[in-house]
Amino acid sequence: MTYDLVIGDRAYSSWSLRGWLLFDAFDIPVKLHTARLYTDELPNLLKDFYPSKTAPTMRTPDGVVVPETIAIAEELASRHPEAGLWPSDPKVRAIARVLAAEMHAGFAALREYCPMNLRVSYTDCAPPAAVLADLKRLETIWAWAQKETGSSPWLCGSYSAADAFFAPVAARVASYNLPLAPAAAAYVQAHLAHPSFRRWRAMGMIDGADQDFYRRPYPRRPWPGPVPLAARPVDGFTSENAACPYSGKPVTHVLEIAGRRIGFCNAFCRDKTVADPDAWPKFMAIYQP
Same domain as 147, residue 171:
yes
* Total-model pTM: 0.96
Task: Give the separation between CA 26 and CA 136, rounded to whole angstroms.
Answer: 29
Return the pLDDT at 288: 87
Same domain as 43, residue 95:
no
The phi, psi pair for 276, rounded to 5°, reads -165, 85
DSSP designation for 89: S
Residues 6 or more apart in contact with residue 59 via CB below 8 angstroms: 3, 4, 5, 49, 65, 66
> Of 83, 117, 147, which residue sits at a domain end?
83
* Cis peptide, bond prior to residue 51, ω within 30 of zero: yes
Q: Are 1 and 140 in contact (CB under 8 A)?
A: no
Beta strands in the chain (DSSP E): 3-7, 30-34, 57-59, 65-67, 232-234, 253-257, 260-264
**Per-residue pLDDT tens digits of the chain, which is 289 residues long:** 699 999 999 999 999 999 999 999 999 999 999 999 999 999 999 999 999 999 999 999 999 999 999 999 999 999 999 999 999 999 999 999 999 999 999 999 999 999 999 999 999 999 999 999 999 999 999 999 999 999 999 999 999 999 999 999 999 999 999 999 999 999 999 999 999 999 999 999 999 999 999 999 999 999 999 999 999 999 999 999 999 999 999 999 999 999 999 999 999 999 999 999 999 999 999 998 6
Same domain as 78, residue 95:
no
Kindly state whether residue 48 falls inside one of the protein's structural domains: yes
Same domain as 191, residue 114:
yes
Same domain as 114, residue 153:
yes
How far is CA 281 from each of CA 19, 255, 276, rounded to the nearest angstrom? 22, 16, 11
Return the pLDDT at 8: 97
Which amino acid, 132? Answer: L
Q: State the CATH number of the domain containing residue 76.
A: 3.40.30.10
* Cis peptide, bond prior to residue 195, ω within 30 of zero: no
Same domain as 120, residue 56:
no
Structural domain for 29, as ranges: 3-83
Number of domains in the chain: 3
